[in-house]
Structure 1
Amino acid sequence: MIIRIFGDYETYETKYEDYGIENFGGVVPSVGDIIVSPGVTRGADRNDPDNRTLYVVKERYWLPSTGEKDPVRLGLVVATRTGMMKEVNVLGD
């Protein structure tokens, strides 16, 4: 399964990131879930919420497999935001 995150809920922008279900602990993200992007800008403090990107899942689109070489795909349309100070303990390493 390929889980594809589309990064702009307003425009359904074609910029995306692909993940496997194993990246989410074997659980498929649902509407309302908040996904913390694993990356930060080089040299940035990972524990500063302003440096973290969060994806709030707004919609899910399932694309069934059409054959052996075509995996099931799940498109997640998200709203992107930065972390907030009240989330510092959740976002820290």
Structure 2
Amino acid sequence: MATENPEDFYNRLEQELTNSTQWPSDYLYKFIIPTDEDKSRQISRIFDNTGAVIKSKQSRNGKYTSLSVNVRMKNPQEVIEKYREVSVVEGVISL
């Protein structure tokens, strides 16, 4: 199965967010990372000073951690910028 070009994904997401949401709005990001305190800290730093509420939960076997980040965003472009910043964290999966 081919993976989608990230730019196509971001363009489609921007359209969907523009059409479905009034901005500014709360946005819920969901990420899965290999359980690693450094990776959790990297993602937390990306959302520093944004007022984000971050919740984490380890998988049953402790191998993975899911992160839910609830934050008020100004517009779809700001949402996408955070996805781009998080995408550099090794092993992260954005849901």
Structure with the higher fraction of residues in strand conformation: 1
For normalisation by structure 2, the TM-score amounts to 0.31
Higher relative contact order (CA 8 A, sep 6+): 2
Of structures 1 and 2, the larger Rg is shown by 1
